[in-house]
Amino acid sequence: MSDWTLCIDFGTAFSKAAVAPKGAWSRFDPATVRPLMLSAEGQNAFLLDSAVFVDQDRVLFGRAALDEADAQANNKRTALRSFKTLLSVSDLERALNTNAPATIDPHRIFQMRDLIVLYLAYLLASIERAIQADAVLAQGGVFSRRYAAPAWRGGDSAGMHNVIVRLFGEAEAFRAIVGKRLVSADGISLRTIIDALPKATEQAQSLDMGLIYEATAAAAYTSVGLEGSGSHIIVVDMGAGTTDVAALARLGPRTIELPEARVTLKQAGDFVDRVIANRVLDNANWAKRPESKAELWAVLMSQMGDIKEAVMVDGRATLRNQGRSITLSRKDVEKDEDFRDFLKSLREAYDHALAIVRDDARARGRSEVQAIAVGGGASTPFIQDLIRRKMESTRPRVIPRPATPDWAHAREFKGNLAPVFPQLAIAIGGALAPESMLAARGGAIPPANDRSGIPVERD
């Protein structure tokens, strides 16, 4: 039996997780890295939709939650999404204790905190299912856990650590009570939740988990194979909720972040979705009444993944609605004023971070800075332009790195890993990173094993 490190990346749109053998940092072998197939129903097995839907008499999670929300969209019912952004607000306790709005919870019984705990329980149960389905990992061993988070609130993430490990602790206690029912596509009944949630809150202990900053984790995967070179790294992570720019320097065995370089923008994939939908609505002159606008908006949002990819990759998307056809080009998006403001802030943020990381590299006599883009937005043309911009020839040079390493194409991943590698880079880097890269520490726990149905004991 081996010892493992598990890293959980709870994302605004998708949650991801990966496992690496302990000590993988110093003895890196790509074949030993195990990204977890968290999703049985989603479009890609490695991506678990971060979504909760409160139905008439049950609660659904992940893809099933989104599908049911689509089916009931006419009844003004929506799934809870993007709830990770809640964790970044300044008055966190208050935000967690807020009641969920009626469109999300028609019964008015849940606070936001409850829904986050339920989702984290589903995430932990999905991780456990993926571990049991993995021939190597299912043999057991000790798993130490960490989660990746942005450096929220001007670098006070370590302060948030206690709140988050508490939420994970409640989620783990809930999972121990409810077991595998959590990952059923039919969800779990309200009755079960109403019975188990207060017990879980009472029994919960803070989960023993380390914290790694998302940018540090992204830098870890990039630098793991680059012994000797790649001492300085600039990372752009465009996810769904935030776009983060960060700079790191590797000094011997230690990787430090250059904190003055960090910038977090609140515009990312979700924002681009809204820009695209608004442009279509502006052009759709048959949809003038509020109801038709709302209906078109819902249709656009349910197909946004495909629309966005077509606009970004092919330069245009053609959509059909109520027998009409409408084309949206990348140029239309680039003309949008909000989008232009975002690009301007993004360029400023990147230039600011780049100046700092190049100064640091120069001061330490280094000749290169590696630039990488991660997150779902990594392959978009404007992010690629950013990291590939020609620099003056003076040293240190900026070397753009590919978002997807060669090993992600290995046969064992059946072609599923490479297309989403930029989204998994944080979970994978976080599992590979040595303890010295953590922003807050946790200890090791024995492997969770819900085959017995008995709550896991911790040491």
Ligand X SMILES: Nc1ncnc2c1ncn2[C@@H]1O[C@H](COP(=O)(O)OP(=O)(O)OP(=O)(O)O)[C@@H](O)[C@H]1O
Select from Mg ion, ligand X, none the partner in contact with residue 14, using the beta carbon and a kind-dependent cut-off of 5 to 8 Å: ligand X
Candidates 88, 223, 255, 380; binder of ligand X (CB under 6 A) is: 380
Residue 422 touches Mg ion, criterion: CB under 5 A: no
Residue 61 has, within 13 A of its CA and on its CB side, a CA count of 26
Q: Tell me the three state secondary structure of residue 46.
A: coil
Residue 173 and residue 450 in contact, taking contact as beta carbons nearer than 8 Å: no
Stretch that binds ligand X, among 205-213, 257-265, 345-353, 374-382 (CB under 6 A): 374-382
CA dist., res. 365 & res. 418, Å (int): 35
Query: Could you say which residues in the range 381-440 bind ligand X, by CB under 6 A?
Result: 423
Each residue of 347-372: b (16+ CB within 10 Å) or e? eebbebbbebbbebbeeeebebbbbb
Binding flags for Mg ion, 229-248, as an x/- string (CB under 5 A): ----------x---------
Query: Could you say which residues in the range 70-89 bind ligand X, by CB under 6 A?
Result: 84
Candidates 4, 5, 6, 12; binder of ligand X (CB under 6 A) is: 12
Select from ligand X, Mg ion, none the partner in contact with residue 35, using the beta carbon and a kind-dependent cut-off of 5 to 8 Å: none
Please state whether 76 falls in left (phi above 0), alpha (psi between -120 and 50) or beta. left
Candidates 187, 377, 429, 430; binder of ligand X (CB under 6 A) is: 377
Q: Which is nearer to ligand X, 271 or 368 (CB)?
A: 271
Residue 54 and residue 108 in contact, taking contact as beta carbons nearer than 8 Å: no
Stretch that binds Mg ion, among 5-13, 279-287, 404-412, 431-439 (CB under 5 A): 5-13
> What angle do the packed helices 157-178 and 190-203 form, to 10 degrees?
130
Length of the chain: 459
Binding flags for Mg ion, 21-60, as an x/- string (CB under 5 A): ----------------------------------------
Query: Could you say which residues in the range 181-240 bind Mg ion, by CB under 5 A?
Result: 239
Q: Which is nearer to ligand X, 120 or 240 (CB)?
A: 240
Residue 126 touches ligand X, criterion: CB under 6 A: no
Q: Which is nearer to ligand X, 14 or 231 (CB)?
A: 14
Q: Quote the least distance from Cβ 241 to ligand X, whole Å.
A: 3
The DSSP result for 277-327, as a single string, is HHHHHHH-TT--SHHHHHHHHHHHHHTHHHHHHIIIIISEEEEEETTEEEE
Candidates 39, 78, 222, 242; binder of ligand X (CB under 6 A) is: 242
CA 329 to chain centre: 27
Query: Could you say which residues in the range 280-339 bind ligand X, by CB under 6 A?
Result: 305, 308-309, 312
Q: Which is nearer to ligand X, 245 or 312 (CB)?
A: 312
Q: Which is nearer to ligand X, 215 or 438 (CB)?
A: 215
Residue 14 touches ligand X, criterion: CB under 6 A: yes
Residue 435 amino acid letter = E
CA dist., res. 300 & res. 186, Å (int): 26
CA dist., res. 100 & res. 106, Å (int): 9
Select from ligand X, Mg ion, none the partner in contact with residue 157, using the beta carbon and a kind-dependent cut-off of 5 to 8 Å: none
Query: For the chain, give me the number of helices (H) and strands (E)?
Result: 14, 19
Q: Which is nearer to ligand X, 106 or 405 (CB)?
A: 405
Q: Quote the least distance from Cβ 309 to ligand X, whole Å.
A: 5
The DSSP result for 168-181, as a single string, is HHHHHHHHHHHGGG
The CA–CA distances, whole Å, from 320 to 81, 282, 323 equal 26, 15, 6
Spell out the residues 6+ positions from residue 278 whose beta carbon is closer than 8 angstroms to its own: 336
Residue 110 touches ligand X, criterion: CB under 6 A: no
Select from ligand X, Mg ion, none the partner in contact with residue 380, using the beta carbon and a kind-dependent cut-off of 5 to 8 Å: ligand X
Candidates 6, 7, 8, 11; binder of Mg ion (CB under 5 A) is: 11
Spell out the residues 6+ positions from residue 48 whose beta carbon is closer than 8 angstroms to its own: 14, 15, 16, 38, 39, 42, 62, 123, 126
Q: Which is nearer to ligand X, 231 or 242 (CB)?
A: 242
Residue 442 touches Mg ion, criterion: CB under 5 A: no
Please give the residue ranges that form the binding site for ligand X (CB under 6 A): 11-14, 84, 239-242, 268-270, 305, 308-309, 312, 375-377, 379-380, 423
Please give the residue ranges that form the binding site for Mg ion (CB under 5 A): 11, 239
